[in-house]
A = this chain, B = another copy of it.
Amino acid sequence: MSHSEARERVLQAAERLFAERGYTAVTVKDIAAAAGIHHASLYHHAPDGKEGLFVEVMTRILERHRAGIADAVGAGGEDVRAQLHGIAAWMLSQPPMDMIRMALSDMPAIDAASANMLAALAFEAMIVPIVRVLYDARGRGELLQGDLGNIAGGIFSMLQGLHTLPEAYLERSRQEMANELIDVMLAGMKAR
């Protein structure tokens, strides 16, 4: 069971669909169809069914985010602006996700223990690194004013919003828009 080409196709299809539309809006038939197999065959690769599959792929996504964001932060050296632009680039390189929907809609629909685990992992993988980048910059003497936890959450929310903005509304690349929003926030933290 553990590793096969077909199983990987199932996991990738599930990742994309669950991240984009959420737990309740996606059916196992949707996933099987996207993976190119009959929905009964899906249970061969995911014996714990829809909920087990959801927990597995969300864990995978969040672990990958943690690693990708950590790399982006490292590549930014000691420049908070470069670090935040790097985090934005990483997030925009991944399938869009909606943490609000995860918290409000997906989590209540699954087993409580799994929900708590995923919520903690999401916080650790995506919010904490941004908070840390801001605190480290302040620690180096940069004049970043304000409640850094609040501001980190704000930056994260803006990046997610941008990521899921329909193409039709885009005049520039998402990366350019993300960088502008980050720059406005940084300038504001210094200016107040």
Q: Which residues of A contact B (CB under 8 A)?
A: 20-25, 96, 98, 100-101, 103-106, 108-109, 146-147, 149-151, 153-154, 156-158, 160-162, 164-166, 171-172, 177, 180-181, 183-192
Given contact pairs A183-B188, A189-B188, A100 touches B103 in the complex (Cβ within 8 A): no
Asked if A162 and B151 sit within 8 Å, CB to CB, the answer is no
- Interchain nearest-CB distance for A74 vs B (Å): 26
Q: Which residues of chain B are near A187, meaning CB under 8 Å?
A: 187-189, 191-192
Give chain B residues whose Cβ lies under 8 Å from the Cβ of A184.
146, 151, 154, 185, 188-189, 192
A158 to B150, CA, bound (A): 10
**A183→B160 CA distance, assembly (Å):** 21
- Residues in chain B near residue A188, CB distance under 8 A: 183-189, 191
Q: Which residue of B lies closest to A190 (CB)?
A: B191
Q: Point out the residues of chain B lying under 8 angstroms from A162, CB to CB.
A: 153-154, 157
